[in-house]
Structure 1
Amino acid sequence: MKLPDFEAWAVFAAVIEHRSFSGAATALAVSKATVSKAITRLEARLGTSLFHRTSRRLTLTESGRALADHAQRIRAEGEAAEEAAFESATAPAGLVRVAAPLTFGIQAVAPIVAEFMALHPGIRVDLRLSDALIDIVGDGIDIALRIAELPDSSLRARSLGPVRVHIVGAPEYFARAGRPRHPADLANHACFVYTNMATPDLWRFRRAGGEEAGVHVEGPMRTDSGDAMLPALRAGLGIARLPEFLVGEDLAAGRLETVLDDWSSGAAGLHLLTPPGTLRPVRVEALIDYLADRLRRICNKVR
């Protein structure tokens, strides 16, 4: 039996990451023809097409999508093995791609990354901040931070701690519409809906003693950004369910108030995700450990 064509698998992973043959060629410092030949060679060996090719677009076939995780893992573990061989002689170096939610990324992740880069001048960080869900494997992300309940997946996940969530509104809103005393009361309130969730219109609650409640909410605003809700909240236009790092300053200043404090609103937690595989480059492991340590401290501090 022939050995696997590791070079072709690594090239396949690079094309997935850069979404083009030319982009992969530039990143790998080889010709576009070399990339094309490697993909053709791998397709012939596997007996299936990996990409749909048109003059304007390159997309993965069903087979390509099924094999994408394997390609990324082969490439990452190859890089990790090489870096491990040189670790004792050289400091970690190279690029690490990190994804995080927008506001949390600005407030918490960016300062930690800056500290890390000062300690490791040979490491570069591509920090991508967005509240939208991303394809960690397809986008070539090394580390992703998410605040949510995580579905089952092939990704490796590390729980870093809880993220406190509040039901909030302006004093003016509560003076006009009344304060909900039970989660069921929210059905009669103007609730802002955060759409980057599996069931955005269903808010679930639990309180000491085990009582649970779920309520379908609606209101004048739907958005994929918690920050975008704040002006309307401060203006007294409704109620929202938001994490403490977003509303902490407004609560301290009295611009917003919490309700239903004896209920826990969901099971939000901060998680660090990485692609499948057990081996990672030294530079990635170093940043994972640094982020995990610092972010755990932040979560424990605000509990």
Structure 2
Amino acid sequence: MNLNRLAYFAAVVDTGSFTRAAERLGITKAVVSQQVSQLEQDLRTSLLVRSTRRVHPTDAGRTFHARCVVILREAEDAFDELAEAAAEPIGTLRITAPNDYGTAVVVPVITAFAARHPACQVQLTLSDETVDLVSARIDMAIRVGWLADSSLQARKIGSFRQLLVGAPAFADRIAAARKPEDLATLPFIANMALREPLLWEFARGDLDRCTVRMQASIAIDTTPGVLAAVQAGGGLSVLPDFLVADDLASARLNHALPEWRLPAGGIYTVYPAARFRPRKVTAFVEMLVAAEQQKESVQDRDPRSKTVSRRSRRGSRARE
């Protein structure tokens, strides 16, 4: 049996289309269709239900696809393991990351990685949804917040602070606030990507605690969208430090109640469970860790960062 046909079939199921599968594989639609048809003849089983708009796997096709994913992953690992002997990372590195952290931090690291390792190509998927790494054939994910228990392998590479910020138009009202409850009546932009977009727990020192329910004037389902609305003067919101650092430094945004802290979260690299981790993955993680360490070093030198604790507490920004 021609094992390339497994990859063609898996691509059709993953994309739901012969056309999109051909685009992913870099071959013609006719070749994909012919090879999948030949696979069905070899197996004497219908694997796909074809319609004018979409292709769906049969029951047998779904079962077979699950096995194909494992086989293809093992094959990739075998090639990667052989390539590990070479100092230069090669092949395609597939990464998924959330929109905000991915755009602000991961994309610059990818650009530097691609320039340093021209034999390695990078495919980045920006999504706030939790992607199944195995079925999507993803090499690694970057996840931000608080990890749920899973069979995946994870490594914490950094942390972030959550900051309540607003545009200069709110500067006077922010400056007049003495406690978090004083800001609850101001326009608030809710981040619907979060589990609890309106309920926030503030702490000051070791004893002062308060939970405030904000009143949403605008609701947006992506963090970059929330940032844009805050910058435009739509209201206050809670945003991660890596997304607002430049705006705060240039006074385009103001940090409300800096003596009060919100729950901090972690930044993790997550991998499918495997005995072997390809050189392309380890090399990229090394560069990402270096970027995180540089960011933390800058924060340590900035006196404004001293006003907010970095102690990690479980909070509402979990994306798992």
63, 72, 89: which one aligns with 1:75: 72
Tell me how far apart the structure 2 counterparts of residues 281 and 10 of structure 1 sit (CA, whole Å): 20
Tell me how far apart the structure 2 counterparts of residues 67 and 269 of structure 1 sit (CA, whole Å): 37
1:166 deviates by 0.8
Counterparts of residues 19-58 of structure 1 (less than 5 Å)? 19-21=16-18, 23-24=20-21, 27=25, 31-36=32-37, 38=39, 53-58=50-55
1:113 deviates by 1.8
TM-score, normalising length: structure 2: 0.72
Distance 1:88 1:174, change over 3 A: closer
Matched, 1:302 2:303: no
Distance 1:178 1:237, change over 3 A: farther
Q: Is the 8 A contact 1:76 1:281 kept in 2?
A: no
Count of residue correspondences:
294
Tell me how far apart the structure 2 counterparts of residues 36 and 211 of structure 1 sit (CA, whole Å): 67
Which residue does 1:117 correspond to in 2? 114
Tell me how far apart the structure 1 counterparts of residues 263 and 107 of structure 2 sit (CA, whole Å): 26
1:220 deviates by 1.6
Matched, 1:257 2:258: no
Matched, 1:284 2:281: yes
TM-score, normalising length: structure 1: 0.75
Residue 265 of structure 1 aligns to a residue whose secondary structure is coil
Distance 1:290 1:18, change over 3 A: farther
Which residue type is aligned with residue 35 of structure 1?
A: V
Unaligned runs of 5+ in 1: none
266, 270, 274: which one aligns with 2:267: 270
1:223 deviates by 1.3
Tell me how far apart the structure 1 counterparts of residues 274 and 63 of structure 2 sit (CA, whole Å): 15
Q: Is the 8 A contact 2:142 2:268 kept in 1?
A: yes
Which residue does 1:158 correspond to in 2? 155
Residue 192 of structure 1 aligns to a residue whose secondary structure is strand
Residue 79 of structure 2 aligns to a residue whose secondary structure is helix
Which residue does 2:124 correspond to in 1? 127
